[in-house]
Amino acid sequence: MSEWKMKRFWSEVTPKPVEGGFAIELDGRGVKTPAKTALIVPNAVLAERVAQEWRAVEAEIDPSKMPYTRSANAAIDKVAVQHSEVAGLIADYAGTDLLCYRAESPIELQERQAAAWDGALDWARERFGLELSIATGVMPVRQADASLARALELCEAMSAFSLTAFHDLVSMSGSFVLGLRAAEGCDTAENLWNTSRIDETWQEEQWGVDDEASEMAALKMTQFRHAYAFYHACVRP
């Protein structure tokens, strides 16, 4: 049941409690991932969202319309089998966090960055002990080893499903801190995404909107919003 191009043959889609979580059954047959592993998600909330995607299939499976299934597949086939490597990859973003790199000019942009980002950095320090230093311009700043170790610890503590979503939240925003704020539900996905795009928004205001770039940004925002929803579905009891 992992053939993404297969045509619909099932009538009933049923989440079924199994050891380790919930399976998704199509007329009593369990769905498998592309790697032919049983598709088992951690809770009933996530199981129902995956099931809804399979119920919505009309003629042939279209993966682009099944984001929950794709993310679950990634968690099982990719992240679960290399959890430590993925955790390390994401934790590295704390060393180059978007919020730590500020414009040299103009003052209006500097003020906008400070207003949007300073509070998030303060929150990360107080909530998680992440002390991240701010730099101006493009020259890299070396973050404290203790903060980098703390970032890795946070990632390693996540389940494969949570880490899958967290990877997208961090990599798409360019910010480990914004990823944490998304995971903690500190703000809406839309507001967090806009917070990550202070520089791009400024450039658009100065030079106008590039249609192609705007279209790509809209697609990424949709993906970011899904990662936010997937993360919070993963951590539901």
What one-letter code names the amino acid at 195?
Answer: T
- DSSP code, position 142: P
- Angle at the Cα of 47 from the Cα atoms of 165 and 223, rounded to 5 degrees: 30
HEC assignment per residue over 79-104: HHHHHHHHHHHHHHHHHHCHHHEECC
pLDDT band for position 3 (50/70/90)?
very low
Which residue in this structure is represented by tokens 């909530």?
127
pLDDT band for position 9 (50/70/90)?
confident
* Measured CA distances, 33 to 75, 93, 161 (Å): 10, 29, 14
Is 219 a residue whose pLDDT tops 70? yes
Is 1 a residue whose pLDDT tops 70? no
Which residue in this structure is represented by tokens 């040299």?
104
Domains, the chain, ordered by start: 1-57 (3.30.2180.10), 82-234 (1.10.3580.10)
| 29 three-state secondary structure | strand
Q: pLDDT digits over 160-192, tens only?
A: 999 999 999 999 999 999 999 999 999 999 999
Tokens of 189: 């996905």
Neighbours of 145 (CB within 10 A): 8
